[in-house]
Amino acid sequence: METVIKKITADKNENARIFSLGGEIIKRGGLVVFPTETVYGLGANALDSGAAAKIYAAKGRPSDNPLIIHLSRVEDVEKYAYTNDTFNRLAAAFMPGPLTVVLEKRSCIPDTVTGGLDTVAVRIPGDESARALIEAAGVPIAAPSANISGRPSPTCAAHVIEDMTGRADMIVDGGDCDIGVESTIVKISPDGSMILLRPGGVTLEMLTAIGDVTLDKAITGKLSGGERPEAPGMKYRHYAPNTRVVMLDGQVSEIHDYLKQNSQREKAGVLVFSDEVPLFSDLDVTVISLGEHTAEAEAHSLFAKLREVDSYGCDVFYVKVPERTGIGLAVYNRMLKAAGHEIIKL
């Protein structure tokens, strides 16, 4: 398959032509990779079962893992799902934005999109290019993250060009994604309370200001063999480089000492904030900087750094257990998956 790559620039007329071309491709059943404020998505017409099926093939994704449908306006949600009071309050506070809400679906959404569930996940991206593409398509766009299944979600054009060239009809290059981790997913219970299925840019603290929230066990815990998480995707191995990743629970000085002790028996790497890089200069380890010392910067760069890890030929990469507040909970959740839940307490 030939993949057309188009870059969003300051030229509004050219951008309009890009969205119109992308919209046409979606309408006729093709696949378009597009930027959002969280990660890049691999989009298809959510009302076309055959088009949605192509997404699973392109990603190599199990077909029981449902897709999020992306809309450009809150008013359209009611056409595809049954809304309720909690949804309305969430929408008023956080939409458009990095929030996905799981609602009871209407019959126009095919089973291919929902993996046979009677619910559908709905999101209105904050990114203007994403909304312009949805407008141009005139249909909801079903889109998972645009990575090959199992790899870290793509947060810049180079990642989607690497993963999706030859697999999608078009790639819209919108530069770097702002947030860098996928949207927060909330399911609304029949009593109106919220269940957090996946942490993201709309934080637990922000959701708690709207109402009661419980955390799905799959966010911070490891599910045992037969257990099924509420969000089917949370059960799959994710984000994991081929190199072993281990989380270290301790202070940076303790991490330094731990690496020093082990330096004879393993070729190690470490992911740290830029201000911590000099602390490791006396050791023979590969040091990757996560950027500025904030949870937001860590979220922004984590997936790109995880993609980089395998290029250093290390036996193991260490990363510090992050604070679990704010977007830190999302960073912690993605790291756990990359590390296969391997944490060493220092």
Q: Which is nearer to Mg ion, 41 or 140 (CB)?
A: 41
Binding-site member from 45, 145, 184, 301 for Mg ion (CB under 5 A): 145
Cα–Cα distances (Å) from 57 to 29, 50, 96, 148, in that order, read: 14, 11, 29, 10
Give the span between the Cα atoms of 289 and 291, in whole angstroms.
5
DSSP code of residue 94: H
Interface with ligand TXA, residue 232, by CB under 6 A: yes
At 82, which amino acid appears? Y
Q: Which is nearer to ligand TXA, 33 or 319 (CB)?
A: 33
120's contact among ligand TXA, Mg ion, none, with CB below 5 to 8 A by partner kind, is: ligand TXA
Minimum Å distance from CB 238 to ligand TXA? Answer: 9
> Which strands sit side by side in the sheet containing 343-345, from one edge to the other?
286-289, 268-272, 316-320, 244-249, 343-345
Minimum Å distance from CB 160 to ligand TXA? Answer: 11
Q: Which is nearer to ligand TXA, 240 or 344 (CB)?
A: 240
Interface with ligand TXA, residue 97, by CB under 6 A: no
Binding-site member from 72, 119, 149, 203 for ligand TXA (CB under 6 A): 119
Q: Closest CB to ligand TXA belongs to which residue? A: 233
Q: Which is nearer to ligand TXA, 86 or 145 (CB)?
A: 145
Cα–Cα distances (Å) from 288 to 51, 89, 167, 302, in that order, read: 39, 41, 31, 11
Q: Which is nearer to ligand TXA, 18 or 181 (CB)?
A: 181
Interface with ligand TXA, residue 36, by CB under 6 A: yes
Compute, in degrees rounded to 10, the torsion defined by CA atoms 95, 99, 104, 108.
Answer: 70
